[in-house]
Amino acid sequence: MSIEEREYGFKYHWEVVQKAIRNIDDRRHGRIKSFVTPWHGLNEATIGGFEWGSLITIGARPGAGKTMMISNLLRESKTLNITQDFNIIEFQFEMGNEQYGTREIVAETGLDYNVVLSSKAALDDYKFTLIQQYGEDCKHLHKQGVYRVQINKAITGKEIRAAVHYFYNKFGGKPLIVTIDHSWLIKKAPDEKEKLNTLYNTVDTLIELKNELPVIILMVTQLNRTIEDSLRRAPGIVGNYPNTGDIFGGDALTQGSDMVLAMSRPYKFDITAYGPKSYIVSPDSIFLHLLKIRNGTSDTPILFMKGLFEKQKLIETVEPGIVVNTSGYQPRATRRQQAPIGNEL
CA–CA separation, 199 and 192 (whole Å): 10
The torsion region of residue 263 among left (phi > 0), alpha (psi -120 to 50) and beta comes to beta
Which helix (H) or strand (E) segment is 67 a member of?
helix 66-75
Residue 341 is predicted with a pLDDT of 43
Write the CB contacts of 324 (distance below 8 Å, at least 6 apart in sequence).
Answer: 278, 330
Q: What is residue 8's predicted lDDT score, i.e. its pLDDT?
A: 87
pLDDT value at position 144? 84
**Distance (Å, whole) CA 137 – CA 192:** 43
> What pLDDT is stored for residue 325 in this prediction?
64
**DSSP helix/strand/coil, 329:** strand
Give mean pLDDT, residues 63-88: 93
CB of 288 within 8 A of CB of 260? no
How far apart are alpha carbons 312 and 341 in whole angstroms?
17
Mean pLDDT of 247-273: 90
Mean per-residue pLDDT for 175-181?
A: 96
Report the distance separating Cα 262 and Cα 291, nearest Å: 7
Per-residue pLDDT tens over the stretch 276-333: 999 999 999 999 999 999 887 667 799 999 999 888 899 999 999 998 764 444 444 4
How far apart CA 225 and CA 34 sit, in angstroms, is 34
pLDDT bin (cut points 50, 70, 90) of residue 1 is low
- How far is Cα 129 from Cα 322, in angstroms, rounded to an integer? 45
3-state SS assignment for residue 51: coil
pLDDT of amino acid 328: 46
Average pLDDT of the chain is 89
- Which pLDDT score is estimated for 304? 97
Q: What percent of the chain has pLDDT over 90?
A: 69
**Is the pLDDT assigned to residue 35 strictly greater than 70?**
yes
Between CA 35 and CA 216 the distance in angstroms is 9
Please state the rounded mean pLDDT for residues 21-36.
93
Give the rounded percent of residues in the chain with a pLDDT score beyond 70: 92
Where are the chain's structural domains? 32-330
Q: What share of residues in the chain are helix, strand, coil (percent, to 5)?
A: 40, 20, 40
97-147: pLDDT as tens digits: 898 899 899 988 888 889 999 998 999 999 999 999 999 999 998 888 889
Instruction: Evaluate if residue 218 carries a pLDDT over 60.
Output: yes
Of 173-177, 203-207, 253-257, give the lowest mean pLDDT range.
Answer: 253-257
Q: What is the CATH number of domain 32-330?
A: 3.40.50.300
